Chains A and B, each alone.
Chain A
Amino acid sequence: MTKYNQVMVIGYGLVTRNVLSFIDSVSDRHGYSITYVEHEKYPFNGAKKYAESNKLESFLIDDKYELTSFILKRAELGHLLIISASNNFLFPKKVVENKNIRIVNFHNALLPNLPGRNAPSWAIYNGYEKTGITWHYVDAEIDTGDIIIQKECSIYSDTKAYELVTVQMKLAGDAFMECFEKILADSVVTKKQDLDPNRKVYKSSEIPGDGMFDINDSAENIYRLLRAMDYGKNDLFPHPTTIYNGHMITVKRYKKVSSEEKMDSANKLYIPFGDGMFLMLRYDMR
């Protein structure tokens, strides 16, 4: 049995879709209503598609004040469990501290490490070999709430940010399925975070290396920056830049290539790794 008569899912993309699908699949056992809220519009939003094709109640509420009011009104109807996944809406104090509301959030790092935004990029940029995901209860601060479950994953020497995110989304979905019914029963054995008072909370405006590298730096370091900034066509960050032959250039594409694959071409340069492999950079002059 659960005290929650409403479950609200806020977010977009793969993990939100998988979470929504699982919540839907077990709803008959628990009797809660399901609401999906799209707070930010993204293309290819699998969660929205799932909600629409399965006729779940869904809303697009992109104004943060409207969303706050919406949540508070819903909380007047009974106990509300909010599942926040791939969601940039920061829940205000009056929502977090409402006695009828409990919020569970997915973070793409192993808290208390890398709180804040774009954690996969910082994990790669900081040279981590391991990172992971955390589901946690939300309190009034950013990413400080009690931990429900964590899963670990590896970062390899070629891992790009979007590849890491893909792995993390899968882990997040699996972890959610393991713990959801305990969350419903309020029977999770949580772990308090050991918080460093000087911890750094990454902002959305921060970019690894400020988006720039030194052309004379090692191929490994440059490659790590490029991989950390690489979300493919999601264009989360601007293209990385550097100064080359006195000109500012923007890296449009990069790839690790062998000496056999090297091809002299305008707007391409090759930086040796020192083991017969090269970092190919294709660039535009700014």
Chain B
Amino acid sequence: MEEKILKILAQVNEDIVTYDGDNLFDAGILDSLQAVEVIASLEDNLDIDIDAEYVIEDNLKTKEAIIEMIKKIID
């Protein structure tokens, strides 16, 4: 599942997967539009619904946080 999520993220923006810092938004890699794209891509490819309450900076600021968020939603 992690591999699949990373592949989806890389398709949106390779830098999301290669970034090793604390916050993709602070690094200028993610912004509001790319966040929309990330969420839409994850929903489409994993066939899940990501409720709006999950779409917060803490859940999207690193690839690890995104993976954790998806695991919570699926579980």
Contact = CB atoms under 8 A, between A and B. Distances in A.
Given A233-B55, A255-B44, A45 B36 contact: no
B39 A43 contact: no
A238 interface: no
In this complex, the interface size class of chain A, counting residues with CB under 8 Å from chain B, is: 20 to 34
11 contacts: A14-B31, A14-B33, A44-B30, A46-B28, A49-B28, A160-B40, A162-B40, A166-B34, A166-B37, A233-B39, A234-B36
Interface residues of B, number: 21
Contacts of A56: none
A49 B30 CA distance: 12
A13 B33 contact: yes
B30 to A, nearest CB: 7
B43 A49 contact: no
B50 interface: yes
B57 A44 contact: yes
Interface of A: 12-14, 17, 42-46, 49-50, 53, 160, 162-163, 165-166, 169, 231-235, 252-253, 255
A170 B23 CA distance: 22
B8 to A, nearest CB: 15
B49 interface: yes
A253 B49 contact: yes
Contacts of A169: 33
B3 to A, nearest CB: 22
Given A44-B31, A253-B43, A53 B37 contact: no
